[in-house]
């Protein structure tokens, strides 16, 4: 995937895990990455009062470091396909690396399809990474953890993908997931079969699944950025057949209705919780 292509991706949809932000004890620290393969780095303490924290589909691979003094551990998490428990422990501090949508880190000893909807112990799937992992887990300063991650892994972040997959990802993100495979055929010049095969091989998902996830992420982005939103207009803008279709899809992927989600994020000052570094 080219540098320009990946940069174009990150500018279109910002992958979000809203229940992580709402589970933060204080602020949720976030820093954009200069490397196009990484969407951003994040860090937060899980509140003592936090209820179940959910992960929602975002099309991203996350490396999540549980920096607990007694039992530190790191996990590699592929994108979920629907909302499910993220297994974050109350009062623990976490440092995370969220890759750009569709990007599979080259340092993982896994094929893309093994990652989707699954988790792995970091040391089991990243050869010779024990020292790097221990250093990152040992430090409590967010900026230092980012430096250590970049120092150890920048040289092997991007796994080579096919041109058709890179072009398809760029197109899906630009269209906010609202695109059919027939349109991808026309825009890329590749056959449906080639697109499907290469996309799944490179990302672990079908183009349809990836588009569905990006459409939901686009909805989440909009709800955070625009405040008062007409759900019927948003459904139309994202290409849903009608508002009820949008509501059903949102609830399945985010685990609540758009109205309840909007009320909660406003009540709990979602945007105010995020501290950009």
The predicted model gives 106-123 an average pLDDT of 96
Quote the percentage of the chain above a pLDDT of 70.
Answer: 96
Q: Where are the domains of the chain?
A: 3-156, 163-271
Q: Are strands 73-77 and 54-55 parallel, antiparallel or unpaired?
A: unpaired
Instruction: Give domain 163-271's CATH superfamily.
Output: Homeodomain-like (1.10.10.60)
Compute the average pLDDT of residues 34-58.
Answer: 95
Q: Is the pLDDT of residue 196 over 70?
A: yes
Whether 57 shows a pLDDT value over 80: the answer reads yes
Judged against a pLDDT cut of 80, whether residue 3 lies above it is answered with no
Asked if 115 contacts 108 with a C-beta cutoff of 8 angstroms, the reply is yes
pLDDT in tens, 236-271: 999 998 999 999 999 999 999 999 999 999 889 999
DSSP state of 52: P
Check pLDDT > 90 for residue 52: no
- pLDDT the model gives residue 43: 98
- Edge-to-edge strand order for the sheet containing 28-32? 119-121, 73-77, 62-66, 93-99, 38-45, 28-32, 274-276
Mean pLDDT of 173-195: 93
pLDDT, tens digit (0-9, with 9 covering 90-100), for 121-149: 999 999 899 999 999 999 989 999 999 99
Q: Evaluate if residue 226 carries a pLDDT over 80.
A: no
Mean pLDDT along residues 202-231: 92
The torsion angles phi and psi of 62, rounded to 5 degrees, stand at -115, 140
Distance between CA atoms of 141 and 126, rounded to whole angstroms?
Answer: 23
Identify the pLDDT of residue 26.
86
Residue carrying structure tokens 């056959």: 191
pLDDT of the residue at 110: 96
What pTM was computed for the model? 0.93
**Percent of residues, the chain, with pLDDT higher than 90:** 86
Q: What's residue 225's pLDDT?
A: 81
- The answer, yes or no, to whether residue 9 has pLDDT greater than 70, is no
Q: How confident is the model at residue 2 (pLDDT cuts 50, 70, 90)?
A: very low
């Amino acid at each position: 995937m080219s540098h320009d292509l990946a940069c174009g991706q990150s500018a279109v949809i910002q992958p979000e895990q809203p229940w992580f932000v709402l589970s933060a004890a204080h602020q949720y620290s976030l820093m954009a990455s200069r490397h196009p393969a990484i969407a951003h780095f994040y860090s937060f303490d899980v509140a003592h009062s936090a209820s179940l924290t959910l992960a929602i589909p975002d099309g991203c691979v996350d490396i999540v470091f549980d920096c607990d003094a007694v039992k530190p551990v790191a996990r590699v998490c592929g994108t979920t396909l629907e909302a499910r428990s993220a297994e974050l422990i109350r009062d623990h501090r976490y440092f995370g690396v969220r890759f750009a949508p569709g990007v599979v880190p080259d340092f993982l000893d896994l094929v893309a399809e093994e990652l989707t909807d699954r988790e792995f112990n970091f040391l089991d799937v990243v050869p010779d990474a024990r020292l790097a992992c221990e250093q990152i887990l040992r430090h409590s300063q967010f900026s230092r953890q980012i430096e250590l991650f970049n120092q150890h892994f920048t040289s092997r972040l991007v796994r080579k993908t096919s041109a058709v997959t890179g072009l398809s990802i760029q197109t899906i993100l630009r269209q906010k997931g609202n695109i059919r495979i027939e349109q991808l055929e026309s825009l890329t010049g590749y056959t449906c079969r080639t697109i499907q095969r290469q996309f799944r091989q490179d990302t672990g998902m079908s183009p349809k699944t990836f588009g569905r996830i990006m459409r939901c992420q686009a909805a989440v982005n909009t709800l955070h950025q625009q405040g008062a939103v007409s759900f019927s207009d948003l459904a139309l803008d994202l290409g849903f057949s009608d508002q009820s279709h949008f509501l059903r899809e949102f609830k399945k992927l985010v685990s609540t209705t758009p109205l309840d989600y909007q009320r909660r994020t406003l009540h709990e000052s979602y945007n105010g919780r995020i501290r950009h570094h």
